[in-house]
Structure 1
Amino acid sequence: MPRIATLTMNPTIDVSYDVARVQHTHKMRTTNEQYAPGGGGINVARVFKRLGGEALNFYLAGGATGPTLERLLSEFGLGCCRIPIAGTTRIASAVHELETGKEYRFTPSGPTIKESEWQDCLDSLSAALPLDALVLSGSLPSGVPADFYARAAAVARESGTPVVLDSSGDALAAGLEAGGLLLVKPSQGELAALVGRELEGIEEIGVEAMRFVEAGKARLVAVTLGHRGAVLARAEGPSFLPAPEIEAKSAVGAGDSFVAAMVHALANGRDELEAFCFGMAAGSAAVLSPGTGLADPEDIQRLHAQICGG
C-alpha cells in the first residue's frame, strides 16, 4: 500500500447546500447540507485513501473552527498531524442552484500565519519523512513566505521523498524555480502566468511545459485545461488527452482528484502515461456531482475505461 504525506497550509471546512434559486436580499432556505474537510492537500488525501492508499495529513488549524476540522478529518478516516495556529480556520461555501444547475462558491482568504507556526510545520514534516511522496497543495495563507513550498521540498528531498507541487502564483513559481520535483500540476491559466503570456493552442502549451522538464525543474508537468483535457510534458515529449464529454456540476476538487489519482498510480509503479490517464479520469469524475464529494472510485474506473480503453 503506497503511503504519502500531504501538506495543506490553508485548509477549509467545506460546506455545501442546495437552494431552489439564488436571490439577493431574500432569505433562501437550503437543503442537502453537507460538511467536509477541505483544502488542496486534504482533498488529495481523501481521494488517495479512496483509491486504497494511505495519506498522512499535515495541516494548520486553530480558532473556534480548528477542532471542527480535526473532527471532520477523523470522521473521514484520515491520518492527521495538526500544527496549531492562533488564527481561525476558514469556512468555504458552495451553493448549488437547483433551478439552473449552477454552482456558486465563496472562499475566504484564511488566517495570517506566524513565522513560528510555519516553521513548526517544516519541523513536523522533517520528523515524518521519508514516505512514497509528499504532496504540497493549495494556496499559502498570509504570513507564509512565497518560497515556503521550495523549503518544504528541500526537507523532503533530504529524506529521499519525491515531491508533488500543485499551487499557483508566487508559491508555484518559487517551488518550480528550486526544481527537482517529481510532478507539478498547473492549470492552463497558471502556466500562462508563469511564462508571462497567454497560451491558447495545445502545441504551444506543450512547448512551454516542456521547458520546465528540460530545465530539470520537474520530471512531469501535467497542465489541466478544464473541459478541453490536459497536457503531460515528460522527457519523451508532450502528450495530450481530451476530456470526456460529461455534464459538469461542480468544479470543487477536480484538480486535487487529478493529482491524487496520478500520484497513486505512480506510487504503484504504473508508467507515466498510464498515471496521467488515471489522473484525467479522476479529475473528470470529480465534476459529476455538485458539492464537495470529490471523485468516486467507481466513476474513476468507468471514465478511465472510456478515456484510455481499459
Structure 2
Amino acid sequence: MSGILTITLNPAVDLATSIERVAAGPKLYCKAPRVDPGGGGVNAARAIRKLGGQVTALVAVGGAMGEQLLQLLAAEDVLALAVHVAGETRQSFAVTDETTGEQFRFSVPGETMDSADGARLLSAIAQAAPRDGYAVLSGGVTPGLDDDFPQQVLAAVAPRRCKLVVDTSKAALAHLLAAPGKPVHVLRLDQREAEQAAGHELATVADSLAFAQDLIARGVADIVAGGRGAEGSVLATRDQRFFCRAPYVEVQSKIGAGDAFTGALTLALSRGEALDQALRWGVAAASATVGTEGTALFGRGEVEALLPQCEVAAA
C-alpha cells in the first residue's frame, strides 16, 4: 500500500449543535455542542483512519485553537504533522433546527498568511510527501497564499513521484482550471463547483462526464471525480467513464461528506483498487457520513454495509 499525506491549509475546530427552532432576535439556547477536528484534509485523514488506513495529516495550526485541533486529532488516532503559522486556527459552527431539520453552517475565514508561512508549508510538504505515494490537498487555500498554491504543492511533491489529489474551491480552483500547468493526478469537484466552472447546468450524468473529460483534455487532471449530490458521483479518465449511484440514506448532516469521499477514494487507490471500485468506496463513505449527525464522520461498519448498494457502471 502506498503512503498517504493529507494537507490542510485552513483547518478548523468544528462545533455542531442543535436547537428546537432557529429564529432571529431572541437569545437561542443550544444543546451541548459536538466538537471535532475539521477542514478538508483533516476530514479526509479521519476517513482514512476509520477505514483502517495509515495516513499523516499535515496541518497549518496556530494559537490555542490550533493546539486544541491537534489534541482532537490525537484522540482519533490520526498522526498529525503540525506546521505552525502566525495566525490563530479558526472555528466553524453548525446549528440544526430540530423542527425543520434544516442545518445552518457558519464558517469564518482563516487569518491571512504571509510568504514566510507559505514557504514553511511548502518545505514541510516536500519533506513529508511519501515516495511513490499520494498527497491529498483538500479544503480552501488560506487568505494570503497565492491562487496557484495547488500548483506549487504539485511541484513540491513531484521529486518523490507523489501523486497529488486536489479538492479545493474558490480562487484556487478557478486558477487551477484556467491555468493548470502540469495535470494533478485526481481532481474532485462537487456539482455546484462543476456547474460554475462549466458556465451552465450539468443536468445529466452524461453532462458531468463530458465536462470531466473536457478538463482532462485541457490538462487539468489525469482523473476527475464529480459529485452529483444524492444521485451519486462520476469518475472519468481520458478513456474511461464511470457512474456510481448512491444508496438512499436519511440525511442528518452533509458536513464532511465530500471530504470522506476524497479520503476513501484515495485510500482505495493507494491499495491498488481499480478506478470503479475506488469510486464505490468514495460514494459509500460519503453516503455513510450524510447519515451521521453534525460534524461526525461515518463508522467503518456503516460504510461496509452500504458498499454493496453502491451500483457502479461504465457510462
TM over 0.5: yes
Q: What SS class does the counterpart of residue 196 from structure 2 fall into?
A: helix
Instruction: Report the more deviating stretch, 88-97 or 144-153.
Output: 88-97
* C-alpha displacement of 1:260: 0.8
Q: 1:282 and 2:276 equivalent?
A: no
* C-alpha displacement of 1:193: 2.5
Query: RMSD in angstroms over aligned alpha carbons?
Result: 1.7
Encode CA deviations 1:201-255: one digit per residue, 9 max, x unaligned. Answer: 2212211111222344322111001112111112333222222222111110010
Equivalent AA in structure 1 for residue 241 of structure 2: P
Aligned to 2:148: 147
Aligned to 1:183: 186
Q: 1:255 and 2:265 equivalent?
A: no
Aligned to 1:25: 25
Equivalent AA in structure 2 for residue 79 of structure 1: L
Instruction: Write the mapping of 1:41-60 to structure 2, written as runs, cut at 5 A.
Output: 41-60=41-60
Q: In 1, Cα distance between the equivalents of 2:2 and 2:44?
A: 14
Q: What SS class does the counterpart of residue 285 from structure 1 fall into?
A: helix
Q: What SS class does the counterpart of residue 310 from structure 2 fall into?
A: helix
Equivalent AA in structure 1 for residue 83 of structure 2: I
Q: 1:73 and 2:73 equivalent?
A: yes
Equivalent AA in structure 2 for residue 33 of structure 1: P
Instruction: Write the mapping of 1:185-224 to structure 2, written as runs, cut at 5 A.
Output: 185-224=188-227
Encode CA deviations 1:150-186: one digit per residue, 9 max, x unaligned. Answer: 1001111221011100012331233351333221111
Aligned to 1:174: 175
Instruction: Report the more deviating stretch, 282-291 or 197-206.
Output: 197-206
Answer whether contact 1:2 1:53 (CA < 8 A) is retained. no
Aligned to 2:102: 102
Q: In 2, Cα distance between the equivalents of 1:76 and 1:108?
A: 24
Q: In 1, Cα distance between the equivalents of 2:89 and 2:268?
A: 32
Answer whether contact 1:58 1:81 (CA < 8 A) is retained. yes
Q: 1:124 and 2:124 equivalent?
A: yes
**Normalised by the size of structure 2, how large is the TM-score?**
0.93
Answer whether contact 1:149 1:174 (CA < 8 A) is retained. no
Instruction: Report the more deviating stretch, 297-306 or 195-204.
Output: 195-204
Q: 1:268 and 2:268 equivalent?
A: no
* C-alpha displacement of 1:148: 0.4
Answer whether contact 2:83 2:121 (CA < 8 A) is retained. yes
Q: In 1, Cα distance between the equivalents of 2:185 and 2:298?
A: 23
Q: In 1, Cα distance between the equivalents of 2:311 and 2:301?
A: 15
Answer whether contact 1:136 1:165 (CA < 8 A) is retained. yes
Equivalent AA in structure 2 for residue 162 of structure 1: K
Equivalent AA in structure 1 for residue 278 of structure 2: A
Instruction: Report the more deviating stretch, 191-200 or 240-249.
Output: 191-200
Answer whether contact 1:147 1:174 (CA < 8 A) is retained. yes
Answer whether contact 1:113 1:142 (CA < 8 A) is retained. yes
Q: In 2, Cα distance between the equivalents of 1:233 and 1:4?
A: 22
Q: In 1, Cα distance between the equivalents of 2:48 and 2:84?
A: 25
Answer whether contact 1:10 1:141 (CA < 8 A) is retained. yes
Answer whether contact 1:210 1:237 (CA < 8 A) is retained. no
Q: Provide structure 2 residue ranges, at least 5 long, that are not aligned to the other structure.
A: none
Aligned to 1:10: 10
**Normalised by the size of structure 1, how large is the TM-score?**
0.94
Answer whether contact 2:21 2:98 (CA < 8 A) is retained. yes
Encode CA deviations 1:236-282: one digit per residue, 9 max, x unaligned. Answer: 33222222222111110010000111111111111000101111111
Answer whether contact 1:45 1:57 (CA < 8 A) is retained. yes
Q: In 2, Cα distance between the equivalents of 1:104 and 1:215?
A: 37
Q: How many residues align?
A: 309
Q: In 1, Cα distance between the equivalents of 2:280 and 2:181?
A: 27
Identity %: 32
Answer whether contact 1:230 1:280 (CA < 8 A) is retained. yes
Q: In 2, Cα distance between the equivalents of 1:126 and 1:246?
A: 40
